[in-house]
Amino acid sequence: MSFQNSVIFPFPAVQYIPLAITKIMEGDLPKSPSTRQSAQLIAGPELNSWREILCRNYGVTIPKIFPALTFPVFAINLQVTTAKYRGFFVTLLGSKAQGHYQLFTIPAERFYKPKLFCQVFDPVSGIELARCSLFIPQTELWKPAAVNP
């Protein structure tokens, strides 16, 4: 038996690992480059290259270090509520939230594949709202901090 939407979760529910979402910070974007920005997802080590851009363009300063064995995710114009993992896929459920940002972590020790494809879906319509993909060497997942300065 699958979850409520087989478009989002095509495999049986028992094949997905639920991931706890630990919110680090969230709120309204202090500034936004334009009035209608699309939803965006930035995750893991990619946050290093985005740190200055997020501060300059959105007015958000993110931490340089995150708790051990966690995987940070930054969502722009989204409100993420649920995370599940299977194979190469981190499936997130959420909704569009124009002008909102969210920084959270999920447990990295659950990942058993080095390539990750993260997607945010609207839980009602099944429409993909944002996505990102990255390669994380297994040794990087087990460092004391998921993102280093």
Quick: pLDDT tens for 44-80.
888 988 999 999 999 999 999 888 889 999 999 999 9
Residue 130: C-alpha distances to residues 8, 43, 66, 120, 123 (Å): 13, 12, 23, 5, 13
What is the percentage of the chain residues whose pLDDT exceeds 70? Answer: 85
Residue 128: C-alpha distances to residues 22, 30, 42, 92, 133 (Å): 22, 26, 15, 10, 14
The structural domains of the chain, with segments of one domain joined by +, span 18-141
Question: 145 falls in which pLDDT band (50, 70, 90)?
Answer: very low
Give the single-character DSSP code of 144. Answer: S
Query: Would you say residue 116 has pLDDT above 70?
Result: yes
- Taking phi first (over 0 means left), then psi (-120 to 50 degrees means alpha), and beta for anything else, what does residue 14 get? alpha
Q: Do the beta carbons of residue 74 and residue 50 sit within 8 Å?
A: yes
- Which strand (E) or helix (H) includes residue 120? strand 115-121
Question: 35 falls in which pLDDT band (50, 70, 90)?
Answer: low
Residue 149: C-alpha distances to residues 1, 45, 69, 107, 112 (Å): 43, 10, 16, 20, 25
